Chains A and B, each alone.
Chain A
């Protein structure tokens, strides 16, 4: 089957940072190697906040317009074709939805969050590129995440992660995150992870 783009993508002015949070994910601009170390440090702190259960700290690293998406992986015959859907998602969220997710943690009936899951985000190969809006960069990285919950087994999942970061009030915040899973059909435990 064909995998068509959203036939009605929202209009977006190319120069608005908020406009980049929706619609087609912007391509890579010029390579900005001088920012690799700085952005890696930001993403390292961000991953640590997730792993350490510092959810408020993590949410504070998100722009109000933040959007998170996990496109549907597609196993295609031709390796030159895109390996993730341009329109279908396994999951999609705004900052508000993620606040609801983390708001569950302290609640007794959050069955899938109790007992809690220990995650470890291993981040690598961070490369920073320009993005088509002032003060916004794109950071591509590899992530390996482990998630352990009890004696059963540890879940392992690898993915490419594409982030847009925006400089706001003197610091970098996440404007958008796209997670490209390496596995075609993930387990529900793998999809429980916030990448």
Chain B
């Protein structure tokens, strides 16, 4: 049996969430061969622009060279190993080591060595002392990187999930702007805890976020809500791929109806201005519309540690006159240790919307599910910390393994679902989490 996960992926050993020796294995076997999300090309728009990010164990400088190419360079001098960039963002033509002055061009080449002629052998290998660089691929402005020369190309790695990401982006008109530098926060708990939450955890909403629901921050879109949408239900579809990627999409439909009963002749995109719905539908393929229409919330995971969320909030977190407004946030859950995770949040706004709408979209994200979101996010952080607290205060084996059986065998295939991969209708299910851990355990394998 692969470490910690039974063959049905119904349980996971608790050690997977608190043990630094497991994290060491994850860095080698899960993170190294995967494409990891670094940020957005728009963050490094000009030659010399850089941001510093983590890629598994390694810190990298994501920098646009004078040739216009974006690279991710190891942030460590090839002389003594000194950290080159201490800042987290900036613009520079060169990276100069603060210790002995070795200097690297912003494409990673070693271009300056003090006392080179007088102090180094004549056959000193310049080319061999450049900064190690990862493979980087930009897809619709999303920057992914991997250290693994044998990893498949990004498109193959993403597989079926690419269709769903494209649909969410195309639903907003296709072109998006990233709102400023990302929000960052360090949260207690293993990186997999918030990640599996985003994979498909609709189950926690009624408990963890009961107050947010009661306070009406989902307002008009809340199925069974009190603001004019009584008589509707939220029906969720879970889509999980063999590569561990997933999407959970929740649809607002009339009570007693099914997904197939949606009126797709008049598509609805809650959170976008109703007067723009026809235009937004026209910019999508008919298959994309069948996925995005009536969708209240969509969230998921790009394996291993990137998550996304598209959801609408309303005037409860804005002004009384504010309409229902959607935001799209992409997050990265970077392990700091087995028990601590740095979360980075990028909010994207469609350029097709007017400035006022875009500002409101960003503010609604900032007020609810941002790094400092006291109305919503803090209750998630609270539970992630409580999980960590309890697992760390338990004798080995105490309490049994973590349970993942919700919805097992109970989901029904979604009929005529437009996107690829198996889509299963089940509003409450851990179908996607099982897919995540199935992929995770296949990579982790047996512990030595």
Contact = CB atoms under 8 A, between A and B. Distances in A.
A85 B180 contact: yes
A101 B49 contact: no
A191 B90 contact: no
Contacts of A6: 359
A114 to B, nearest CB: 9
Interface stretch (B25-33, B299-307, B378-386): B378-386
Contacts of A187: 185-188
Interface in B22-69: 43-46, 49-51
Contact of B211 (A90, A110, A192): A110
Contacts of A104: 211, 215
Contact of B185 (A85, A90, A96): A90
Interface stretch (B222-230, B368-376, B412-420): B368-376
A186 interface: yes
Interface in A86-113: 87-94, 96-97, 100-101, 103-104, 107, 109-112
Interface in B350-374: 355-356, 358-359, 363, 366-367, 370-374
B49 A93 contact: no
Contacts of A74: 88-89, 181
A7 B43 CA distance: 15
B179 interface: yes
Contacts of B370: 89-92
Given A72-B183, A76-B90, A100 B355 contact: no
B326 to A, nearest CB: 17
Given A2-B91, A100-B316, A91 B181 contact: no
Contacts of A87: 179-180
Nearest to A110: B211
Contacts of B372: 70, 89-91, 186, 191-192
Contacts, number: 145
Contacts of A91: 366-367, 370-374
Given A8-B359, A88-B180, A184 B88 contact: yes
B215 A100 contact: yes
Given A77-B87, A111-B379, A187-B187, A72 B182 contact: yes
B83 interface: no
A187 B49 CA distance: 27
Nearest to B46: A2
Contacts of B90: 1, 76-78
* 5 closest A-B pairs by CB: A88-B180, A91-B372, A8-B355, A191-B372, A112-B378
23 contacts: A1-B43, A1-B91, A2-B91, A3-B181, A8-B355, A72-B180, A72-B182, A72-B184, A77-B87, A85-B181, A90-B185, A92-B363, A96-B318, A97-B317, A107-B214, A109-B211, A110-B379, A111-B379, A186-B186, A188-B371, A191-B371, A192-B372, A194-B374
Given A100-B217, A100-B316, A188-B381, 6 more contacts: A1-B89, A8-B356, A76-B90, A93-B374, A185-B184, A188-B385
